[in-house]
Structure 1
């Protein structure tokens, strides 16, 4: 499973990408506003529901496994002290809730990526943000969505190559260095080929974009997004 669009006929696939972006923004705002265990428990149900509406499951969340070690270690690092009492549980608990909040946002993001083609994401951003800034943002997001899976695959290929050549016997630091160097080298190579391909195809900042139309299901998604934003704003005010 990769970080990419998966064709389907789920409810999330049929939604307008603009309503999905608003729902995502509302969810992120609510996640940062309601950091108590009860609030995050309610948001957990909503996040799982969003992923299921996109036809996704645990395998889609697993694609973000590169972030799991950081999220797991953050509470331990936050709670550790250089002197007595050596570990502060209250700090660890606060950071643990923050890590879980990030995980929930990744779950919702997985549902969006799974149910939204890259072309529609670009079009939604360009039509929401006017002018050159919107075009630049749309192109940037499109390139990230298209090439992040490729870069991830390059790293996995480099790791397998190191392992096939007896790299398992090397120290962990040396293995990480070899994989990182190979990954960066391939990333720069892909960037060079991308620039050449864009020039060869007469890259346009303002191409013909797909048409969008809000449907009945979008009304519910928009209501959820606006409701979450309003709930987050209430806590700030």
Structure 2
């Protein structure tokens, strides 16, 4: 499961979360600016380096995003299909394939961030970057999302395994999807009710004591990388 922090002592674990968020944003901008095979090849090497810097493997992170595989794989087929002759345009399918691969690279970098950053540090980074109640609201949202997604994913896996244990594997795909989705939604609403009760019981704090964040010399690496990616993203537009 990839939507969770994994304790470790890798380079990414020791970096300030604000620098890592900046790298994510700059990487996404560069990925949308450079959509050629050569540009995506360079970004691929960088995405792999980010995953390795977080102490993970590309296979592990990619497996955490396996739910996105059907959409990324079918997008080129849908984009290339036409209602008349020639029935399939390779050029359109190729461009859609590059776009799907670009999304995969962005997901890999995001997975490296999640793997190497505690939830409280992510919340602190958001609240200390965005001032006022807006930052506090966003910080709470970030914290809840990172804590809630692993539970929802675990519930879906449990529902699927329970269905298979009861012989549901022989049912049509549509019925299996309906059973798993219904069970997942039911558990999600139940968890949401328990979460609301727990927040009220614990007197939800809008401005809790968050971990102290401080840029160190090693964080200059992340800032320099983000700056280089931003420059690479802007240059194509200046030449146009």
TM-score by shorter chain over 0.5: yes
**Please, what TM-score do these two structures have when normalized by structure 2?**
0.97
User: Secondary structure in 2 aligned to 1:42?
Assistant: helix
Say if 2:2 and 2:111, in contact at 8 Å, map to a contact too.
no
Q: What is residue 49 of structure 1 aligned with on the other side?
A: 49
Say if 2:2 and 2:60, in contact at 8 Å, map to a contact too.
no
Q: CA RMSD in A?
A: 0.8
Structure 1 residue 182: deviation in Å?
0.4
Structure 1 residue 147: deviation in Å?
0.8
User: Secondary structure in 1 aligned to 2:189?
Assistant: helix
**Which structure 2 residue ranges, 5 or more long, are not aligned?**
none
Structure 1 residue 61: deviation in Å?
2.0
**Please, what TM-score do these two structures have when normalized by structure 1?**
0.98
Q: What is residue 89 of structure 1 aligned with on the other side?
A: 90
Say if 2:15 and 2:218, in contact at 8 Å, map to a contact too.
yes
Write out aligned runs for 1:10-159 (5 A).
10-57=10-57, 58-159=59-160
Q: For residues 39-94 of structure 1, what are the alpha-carbon distances to aligned partners after superposition, in whole Å with 9 as ceiling and x for unaligned? A: 00000000000100010102122100000111010000000001111001010011
User: Secondary structure in 2 aligned to 1:81?
Assistant: coil
Q: What is residue 233 of structure 2 aligned with on the other side?
A: 232
**Which structure 1 residue ranges, 5 or more long, are not aligned?**
none
**Greater alpha carbon shift after TM alignment, 129-138 vs 114-123:** 129-138
**Consecutive aligned runs of 4 or more in structure 1 exceeding 4 Å deviation:** none
